[in-house]
Amino acid sequence: MPRLDTTEPLAAPDSVRQRVQRDYERFAKSGLPTSLEQYLLDEYDLDVTAEYAGFQIKNPWGKASGQLSMTARQVEEDVAAGLGFVVLKTVIARDEQGGQSMAAWAIPEARMVAEKIVGKLGETGWTITWKGRGWWQPFEAYLQLIRDARRIANGSGTLIVPSCKYHLPSPNEPEWRVGEYDFTTAKMLEAWQPDTSPMPLEKDFSPTLAGSDRAAAQAKILEWLRVVPKLVHAAAERSGAGQVRLGMKLFNALFDDGFQLQMLDAIHGPAADRPDFFIYANRLFDPHREFEGQRGVAFGGPDLSDRNLRVLDQWRTREPSLPWSATGNITTGRMAIEYLLRGATSFQLHTFFQLPAEHYAMKSGNHTQRALHELHFHPQTGFVVWLHHLANQRGFSERPIRLLDVARGSLSER
């Protein structure tokens, strides 16, 4: 699928473009309408009802797992801003005795910097460079965060999603530490209760197998992807504490695009062994770049979305696909639409919620509200104007324009 053409003038009707311009300016001062979804429906004929993990959500915008979803206070701000979902920071799994095979990931962050980055094709974007990894506070504090986040979100329509990094064996390690899967899943499910609805859960992966040879590393990664869903679902069943809807957060491995397709194939195996959804795809990794004395850093920006979209285009020919949520350099409504056109039913962002304040036109409200304002109403790159542009350009006259229909192909080029 060709990328959206940004050189042509926007084909959204004049009336839409004028209203978007007006809303961009006035909401920058007044803040967003209380029910943004209703406003978009009434004013712009857009139904932004979305889906995450098979749950219907009020809109497609979510906070991706990371430093911005570690505290109840942060969750409170996101719920107040009206996000469709919030993925909590990744916790590092442990077993009943406190054993934690991925303990190296539970280190505090030293420093985080939002930096400009230029992609290989010359496009400028943003990346966050930092040193930390996963949750480093006690496991019990994470369970408390799940409980607090659920209480805060109750009745708001914002879905809360825990995230976990469980044990993953290296190529010379034959055993899976099932105890970590059992203990951590059961405890998270208990914290999720009393609600009887399944708990959505993202499984984060460590992107490197340093020191392993290529073939061994590839074989091991594919094994992880095939085995993890079985272990998590079995752990939930054994716990008797509820069900899990498991999403595999795929990462960009240090191999070629063909291997990314093998990873996607690996999670689309026999129905009983599959995860329930997936997230595509976490950041790129530069093994040579240094930051604060650490060699090898993850990065995002235009190269991340370029790679993700390229791989997703190849993957689309092999559908049907599990439901999925998009991540990776979503800094404009237009980029979200690139993922939407390839089938994503929700978008999760980290970097764009963390830019320096001067990069948002809205000067009041929290970072999440300011970001949502840009994402929706930016007159050149916003979600509203680009959806209308596409509908017009592709002769789609049905109203309202439904986001979920677009994900299922209603605005695809005929």
Ligand X SMILES: Cc1cc2nc3c(=O)[nH]c(=O)nc-3n(C[C@H](O)[C@H](O)[C@H](O)COP(=O)(O)O)c2cc1C
Binding site for ligand X (CB under 6 A): 64-67, 89-90, 112, 128, 130, 134, 163, 204, 249, 282-283, 300, 304, 327-330, 349-352
Nearer to ligand X, 58 or 203 (CB): 203
Cβ-contact 323, 340 below 8 angstroms = no
Between residues 65 and 100, which has the closer beta carbon with respect to ligand X? Answer: 65
Comparing CB distances to ligand X, the nearer of 242 and 302 is 302
Q: Which residues of 230-259 are buried (b: 16+ CB within 10 A; e: fewer)?
A: bbbbebbeebebbbbbbbbbbbbbbeeeeb
Which residue, 44 or 205, has its beta carbon nearer to ligand X?
Answer: 205
The CB-of-135 to ligand X minimum distance in angstroms stands at: 7
The tokens for 238 are 């054994």
Distance CA 412, CA 414 (A): 6
Helices (H) and strands (E) in the chain, counts: 12, 16
- For residues 313 and 261, what is the distance between their CA atoms, to the nearest angstrom? 10
- From residue 250, alpha-carbon distances to 23, 28, 100, 231, 297 in Å are 36, 35, 22, 17, 17
**Residue 296: helix, strand or coil by DSSP?**
strand
Least distance between ligand X and beta carbon 247 (Å): 10
Rounded Cα distance, 61 and 82, in Å: 9
CB 398 → ligand X: shortest distance, Å?
31
CB of 284 to ligand X, least distance (A): 10
| Integer Cα distance of 10 and 383 in angstroms | 12
Smallest distance, ligand X to C-beta of residue 298, A = 7
Residue with smaller CB distance to ligand X, 188 or 411: 188
Cα–Cα distance for residue pair 180/184, rounded to 1 Å: 6
CB of 89 to ligand X, least distance (A): 5
To the nearest whole angstrom, how small is the minimum distance from the Cβ of residue 25 to ligand X? 26
Contact present, 163 and 387 (Cβ < 8 Å): no
Q: Which is nearer to ligand X, 59 or 65 (CB)?
A: 65
Residue with smaller CB distance to ligand X, 82 or 300: 300
CA 149 to chain centre: 18
